[in-house]
Amino acid sequence: MTPGLHQRAEERPASRGNNANRAARLYTLALLFLAGMGPIVLSTMWPAAIRQDPLLIARPAPVEVPTISFRNRLDEQVTLSDFRGRVVLLNIWATWCVPCREEMPALDRLEAKLGGVDFQVVALSVDRGGMTAVEAFFRSSRMRHLTRYIDESGASMQKLGIVGLPTTLLIDREGREVRRYVGAAQWDKEEFTQLIRKVMARREQ
């Protein structure tokens, strides 16, 4: 298995073989990305059964997230440091990515359930079409709770080491990555809300 990847063995003891295969697929995706193929929509290469069971990369210790900047719908520059003090679920997505579009309603429901001074879903689009593409998708999908963010340059993907869409980072109050999920998920499921609540309950010592 690729060093540094800690699978959910405590949750699924019988699935170690499958998890190893997923890690191998992720490694292959990374090689393709480095070879110049660019970001890959994960569902085009992975079986449908994996799409709603994303690969979990659990950090042995929280990792400081690189500084990235993007824009909101008012064309104002935003950085991740602006969210310091709250837990963030950073979702990197694009409107042309089918699994990204499919998981977005669950992210919208998660923001409605937990969003506030202690938590926010930051759905960051890397559409080259800019905010126009994001606005059109939000209208057609009736998104009511997520804030629109855009990075049409795609620079955030490179800084965060993202090789495929969607990829989601769970970031603690101190701006550190504690979990990374590669692939689509039903984000408002109880297992995710419980994990987020646990991270929200932690305070810097």
26 within domain boundaries:
no
Q: Which of 22-26, 150-154, 156-160, 162-166 is predicted with the least confidence, judged by mean pLDDT?
A: 22-26
pLDDT tens digits for 159-178? Answer: 999 999 999 999 999 999 99
Check residue 53 and give its pLDDT: 74
Q: In angstroms, how far apart are the furthest CA atoms of the chain?
A: 48
In contact, 19 and 7? CB cutoff 8 Å: yes
Sign of CA dihedral 104, 136, 165, 202: negative
β partners of residue 165: 41
100 within domain boundaries:
yes
- The pTM of this model reads 0.77
148 within domain boundaries:
yes
What is the span of the domain harbouring residue 56?
39-201
Q: Which helix (H) or strand (E) holds 190?
A: helix 190-201
Give the chain's domain count: 1
86 within domain boundaries:
yes
47 within domain boundaries:
yes
Domain of residue 76, CATH code? 3.40.30.10
Give CA–CA dist 151/171, Å, rounded. 19
22 within domain boundaries:
no
163 within domain boundaries:
yes
pLDDT tens digits for 66-114? Answer: 999 999 999 999 999 999 999 999 999 999 999 999 999 999 999 999 9
21 within domain boundaries:
no
Give CA–CA dist 113/66, Å, rounded. 28
